[in-house]
A and B are shown apart, each in its own frame.
Chain A
Amino acid sequence: MGDYAQPLPVPDPDSAPFWAACREHRLVLQKCAACGAVRYPPGPRCPRCRAREAVWIEAAGRGRVYSWIVVNHPVPKEVYAAEVPYVVALIELDEGVRMASNIVGCAPSAVRGDLRVEVVFDDVAPGTTLPRFKPAPDETR
């Protein structure tokens, strides 16, 4: 854990509750207190009604693969050489927002469009937990 070389998220006042929840292995999303729109990534204002007030709701942690890539060539090499090949995906959460993350727990070649996935939490460094996704149980059958 001490030699984790990949970029770590730097929380800011808008995002701190999201990363704090990840540390507790909970996936949370901002929901506008005025109009109810759920948004991601976290931001200072509701893009739909411009209200500033928001509440944090517990997400189900389930979604489907909207698109994905398989990184074969590590950039920079010193950081990712041991990681390739790895999958980065855009995941549409059941709450209606899109999140970038990794698909783990299956071969890269097993990923496909609309694959149902669920969140798993990866404690990558002291104080930092990343939400990644694995194929949902009903997908592996």
Chain B
Amino acid sequence: MWTLRDRYCIAGIGETAYTKASGRTVLDLASEACLKAAADAGLAPEAIDGIVSFHFNDSVPATAVATSLGIPAVRYAVDFAGGGNAANLIVLAAAAAIEAGLATSVLCYRAMNGRSGFRLGGGRELSARGVTQFTAPFGWVTYPQAMAMWCRRHMLAYGTTSEQLAAVAITCRANAALNERAMQRAPITLDDYLGSRMIVEPFRMLDICLESDGACAVLVTAAARARDLAQRPVYILGGAYGGGPNQGDDLFDALRWPDHAHNYSRYIAADLWRSAGVGPGDVDVAEIYDCFTYSVLMQLEGFGFCGEGEGGPFVQDGRIARDGALPVNTHGGLLSEAYIHGLNHVLEAVRQLRGAAGARQVPGAEIAFTSAGAMTCGSAMVLRR
């Protein structure tokens, strides 16, 4: 369990514009986001001594960014193999590295040309080797196809409806309308949702997140140091990473997963809340990994914001709207802001806790929840101002 409550902070954040065609290298995007995060914290690049990222061969390694930025002494440069499941893990890993004395000021970034370059949603390579020989030959090849299987199981188990999935998509879009960085800002209605093209039943187009070119970065350092830097520190209260048994051979594979009506979240929730010393009822704003609408429902249940199987009814009636009982994805999420694999959720949580979220600020937000992951493994944090 995370035992570093309140001892590490996010002291700086940075991001590029989110676009469909950056016309720039991933290294350029990563460098910009990282430089901005350091500058936001009031740190010169020379003061950075650690850098961490996650990707699956769709990005640039940490050492390349350190080289690009001319960082003189890199003591900790690590690339995690992962998708969105790792977006909170890298922040926790940065703090753990500092605690161990490996570094003092660590940049965490995610960068890719996810629309103009390698398109994750466009299908994986069609070579059916390893565990893929038991999925791809049956035309089961894309992540939307993988996750639709989970969504259907949730519908079978609990009667979850398309209208309930729609509530997630509509809420994210309404929030994105107030976010100048968001890629999709035009409000949508239930009719728009129901009329959007069926991609892979039960998913329509509007159940599926965006594809984005862009980068996000955060600067992690010890609390005592963060208090002397440029921004009001955001403290890492609690954190957890993991999943259940049989997480599979890769991110796609869940053939042996115990129950597709539940995801990783139920397995890490107890550690998360115990490490943070608060519970779901204490959260003022929740930035929940929304690569697909359904993943929000499963995480609301798994992390205990509502009861098992109650995610569908929970998101209805404005409960997750900005002025609802639990504001969710105030930036628009992966569904409407951008698909920076969940690191953009961490940036939004920091903005909310700084009171710097502008028109979409949740008044008086003191505790934020962030999560990353949708299937067999994932990570989450509780942050406070």
- Which stretch, A25-33, A53-61, A83-91, touches the partner chain B? A83-91
Q: Which of A47, A68, A102 contacts B149 (CB 8 A)?
A: A68
- Give CA–CA (A69, B155) in the complex, Å: 12
Given contacts A86-B139, A102-B139, A130-B137, contact A10 B122 (CB under 8 A): no
- Cβ of A105 within 8 Å of any chain B Cβ, yes or no, is no
Please provide the chain A residues from 15 to 32 with a CB less than 8 Å away from any CB of chain B in the complex: 15
Q: Which of B131, B133, B139 contacts A88 (CB 8 A)?
A: B139
Q: Are A10 and B138 in contact (CB under 8 A)?
A: no
Please provide the chain B residues from 109 to 139 with a CB less than 8 Å away from any CB of chain A in the complex: 122-123, 126-139
Q: Are A6 and B139 in contact (CB under 8 A)?
A: yes
- Cβ of A75 within 8 Å of any chain B Cβ, yes or no, is yes
Q: Are B128 and A100 in contact (CB under 8 A)?
A: no
- Chain B interface residue number, banded: 35 or more
- Cβ of A49 within 8 Å of any chain B Cβ, yes or no, is no
Q: Chain B 193-222 against A: per-residue CB contact (8 Å), 1 yes, 0 no?
A: 000011111100000000000000000000
Q: Are B137 and A72 in contact (CB under 8 A)?
A: no
Q: Are A73 and B200 in contact (CB under 8 A)?
A: yes
- Cβ of B55 within 8 Å of any chain A Cβ, yes or no, is no
Q: Are B133 and A15 in contact (CB under 8 A)?
A: yes
- Which stretch, B40-48, B58-66, B140-148, touches the partner chain A? B140-148
Closest chain-B Cβ to A66's Cβ sits at a distance in Å of 7
Q: Are A11 and B133 in contact (CB under 8 A)?
A: yes
- Cβ of A36 within 8 Å of any chain B Cβ, yes or no, is no
Residues of B within 8 A of A40 (CB): 134, 255
Residues of B within 8 A of A67 (CB): 149-150, 152-153, 156, 260
Residues of A within 8 A of B150 (CB): 67
- Cβ of B227 within 8 Å of any chain A Cβ, yes or no, is no
Residues of B within 8 A of A73 (CB): 197-200
- Give CA–CA (A7, B156) in the complex, Å: 30
- Cβ of B225 within 8 Å of any chain A Cβ, yes or no, is no
Q: Which of B128, B145, B149, B202 contacts A10 (CB 8 A)?
A: B128
- Cβ of A79 within 8 Å of any chain B Cβ, yes or no, is yes
Residues of A within 8 A of B137 (CB): 6-9, 124, 130
Nearest residue, chain B, Cβ from A88: B140
Q: Are B145 and A71 in contact (CB under 8 A)?
A: yes
Closest chain-A Cβ to B297's Cβ sits at a distance in Å of 15
Closest chain-B Cβ to A12's Cβ sits at a distance in Å of 7
- Cβ of B24 within 8 Å of any chain A Cβ, yes or no, is no
Residues of B within 8 A of A68 (CB): 149, 152
- Give CA–CA (A75, B135) in the complex, Å: 14
Residues of B within 8 A of A10 (CB): 127-129, 133
Q: Are A113 and B133 in contact (CB under 8 A)?
A: no
Residues of B within 8 A of A71 (CB): 139, 145, 200
Please provide the chain B residues from 299 to 356 with a CB less than 8 Å away from any CB of chain A in the complex: none
- Cβ of A76 within 8 Å of any chain B Cβ, yes or no, is yes
Residues of A within 8 A of B140 (CB): 69, 88, 100
Q: Which of A75, A100, A108 contacts B255 (CB 8 A)?
A: A100
Q: Which of B126, B129, B152, B246 contacts A79 (CB 8 A)?
A: B126
Residues of B within 8 A of A8 (CB): 128, 137
In this complex, which of B199, B201, B256, B260 has the most chain A Cβ atoms within 10 angstroms of its Cβ? B201
Q: Which of B128, B141, B199 contacts A72 (CB 8 A)?
A: B199
Can you report 30 A-B residue pairs in the complex whose CB atoms are below 8 A from each other? Answer: A6-B126, A7-B128, A8-B137, A9-B137, A10-B128, A12-B130, A15-B134, A40-B255, A41-B134, A47-B256, A66-B260, A69-B140, A69-B145, A69-B152, A69-B202, A71-B139, A71-B145, A73-B198, A73-B199, A75-B141, A83-B139, A88-B139, A88-B140, A88-B145, A90-B149, A90-B260, A98-B256, A100-B138, A130-B137, A132-B138
Other 4 A-B pairs with CB < 8 A, given A69-B145, A79-B126: A41-B133, A69-B140, A88-B149, A101-B138
